Amino acid sequence: MEAIERMKYLVCVDSDGCAIDSMDVKHHKCFGPIAVIEWGLQSKQEDFLQRWNEINLYSASRGINRFLSLAKIAEEYSFCGWESIKHWTETTSSLSNEALSSENNEALIKVLSWSKKTNEAIKALEMSKPFAHVKDVLQFLSNEADIVVVSSANLHAIESEWKAADLLKYTTAIMSQNDGSKSSCIATLIKKGYLNVLMIGDSPGDYYAAKENGVHFYPILPGEEATSWKHLKDKAWDEFKAGKLDESYIIGFKNRLGLKT
């Protein structure tokens, strides 16, 4: 990632479920169902898929990395080798297929198989589109800020979706799961000289990544994406530039996802 400061402001934007309306369909049609097949959970399918979606979409862990959510549910459902999966997520330097490819543990080989099959299934989906107002807002922001996509998703998927939506021209760079956690990605960008940083996201992981780096956070509320993006352009951006982003945005976000802190 070689973004060089050219603007006073830096805007980091999450992709799935934030800018691109792709999060729900990927979990409903790819991540969960393929896990059912990979671990032979057909007899528990309904319960498993409900729990998978709760972890990944409808709770304080919304937007969690695929491998962390798998480790969590693997322990709950006592997958064979769940201990190895959990240990890997806690010790690996990168939560990615690339890091998994060097492992020869049977449980981790299965995790890699699941992840690769999921990526292939995602490629076969109809191309997801951005939420309403996203393109207009990114165009507006690009006049005053460098825009970097900061996502835990697969790089190819991000590039494909943003290119199809004609959004890439507004971005300076893309940082994906291969570049590390969202927090580490923001830290890397800050080291390049950015002082005024805003993270736009829809999940607790986005919020905590911003908080850990001491930068501002603006939430895209699940279910109110279009309104959230419009409000960013109409009001919140000016608040951010003035250094007084309304705290009620964070309060509403926490209440929506049940965050305690």
- The residues spanned by each domain of the chain are 9-22+128-257, 23-124
Residue 189 and residue 187: Cα distance in Å, rounded? 5
> What's the pLDDT tens digit per position in 78-101?
999 999 999 999 999 889 999 999
Residue type at 9? Y
Mean residue pLDDT across the chain: 94
pLDDT confidence band for 2 (50 / 70 / 90): low
> What's the pLDDT tens digit per position in 128-173?
999 999 999 999 999 999 999 999 888 988 999 999 999 999 999 9
Instruction: Provide mean pLDDT across the span 248-259.
Output: 89
Q: Does the pLDDT value for residue 104 go beyond 70?
A: yes
Contact 245, 218 (CB under 8 A): yes
| Full strand arrangement of the beta sheet holding 9-13 | 173-175, 145-150, 9-13, 196-201, 216-219
DSSP letter (8 states) at residue 20? B
Q: Which residue has the tokens 């799935």?
A: 16
The model's pTM is: 0.79
pLDDT confidence band for 3 (50 / 70 / 90): very low
Residue 190 and residue 209: Cα distance in Å, rounded? 12
User: What does the pLDDT read at residue 261?
Assistant: 65
Question: Quick one: tokens of 78?
Answer: 């006592």
Q: Does the pLDDT value for residue 59 go beyond 50?
A: yes
Residue 142 and residue 139: Cα distance in Å, rounded? 5
Q: Which residue has the tokens 């021209």?
A: 169
Lowest average pLDDT, out of 80-89, 229-238, 251-260, goes to 251-260
Strand (E) or helix (H) holding 65: none
User: What does the pLDDT read at residue 5?
Assistant: 52
Residue 171 and residue 23: Cα distance in Å, rounded? 20
Residues 6+ positions from 245 with CB-CB distance below 8 Å: 198, 216, 218, 236, 239
1.10.1370.30, 3.40.50.1000, 3.40.50.2300, 3.30.565.10: CATH of 9-22+128-257? 3.40.50.1000
Residue 177 and residue 175: Cα distance in Å, rounded? 7
Residue type at 83? E
Going by C-alpha positions, the residue among 169, 208, 171, 170 that lies closest to residue 186 is 208
